[in-house]
Chain A
Amino acid sequence: MKFVRRHLLTAYAIAAFAYLLVPIAIVIAFSFNDPGGRYNYTWQGFTLDQWRNWDGVPGLRDAMTLSLEIAVLASIVATVLGTLIAMALVRYGFRGRGGTNVIIFLPMATPEVVLGASLLTLFLNVSVVTFGFTTILIAHIMFCISYVVVTVKARLIGFDRSLEEAAMDLGANEFTTFRKVTLPLIAPAILAGLLLSFALSIDDFVVTYFNAGSEVTFPLFVWGAAQRGVPPQVNVMGTVIFIVALSFMVLNVLFQRRRESPAQA
Chain B
Amino acid sequence: MGFFHRHRGLTPYLLLAPGLVWLAVFFLVPLGFLAYQSLQSGTFDVGYAFDWAWGNYWDALQRYHAWLLRSLTYAGLATLLALVISYPLAYWIAFRGGRWKNLLLVMIIAPFFVTYLIRTLAWETILADQGPVVGLLRDAGILGDNGRLLATSTAVVAGITYNFLPFMALPIYVALEAIDSRLIEAAEDLYASRVQAFLRVTLPLSLPGVVAGTLLTFIPAAGDFINAQLLGTPKQAMIGNVIQSKFYNLIDYPGAATLSFTLMAAVLVLIAVYVRAVGTEKLTG
Contact = CB atoms under 8 A, between A and B. Distances in A.
Contact of B19 (A82, A112, A205, A250): A82
A237 B243 CA distance: 30
- Of the four ranges (under 10, 10 to 19, 20 to 34, 35 or more), the interface on chain B belongs to 35 or more
- Of the four ranges (under 10, 10 to 19, 20 to 34, 35 or more), the interface on chain A belongs to 35 or more
A142 B27 contact: yes
B122 A13 contact: no
A84 B102 contact: no
A226 B230 contact: yes
Contacts of A199: 112-113
B201 to A, nearest CB: 17
Interface stretch (B54-62, B88-96, B202-210): B88-96
B243 A117 contact: yes
A114 B264 contact: yes
23 contacts: A10-B96, A41-B130, A42-B128, A88-B12, A92-B11, A92-B12, A94-B12, A104-B23, A106-B27, A107-B27, A111-B240, A113-B243, A114-B34, A121-B34, A121-B253, A122-B30, A145-B22, A149-B19, A238-B114, A241-B114, A242-B110, A246-B110, A253-B106
Nearest to A110: B264
Interface stretch (B140-148, B214-222, B277-285): B214-222
- In terms of DSSP, what is the predominant structure of the interface of chain B? helix
A72 to B, nearest CB: 17
Contacts, number: 229
A118 interface: yes
Contact of B16 (A20, A85, A111, A241): A85
Contacts of A192: none
A120 B247 contact: yes
Contact of A238 (B11, B115, B124, B223): B115
Interface string A119-163: 111101110000000000011011001100100000000000000
A85 B20 contact: yes
Interface string B103-116: 10011111111111
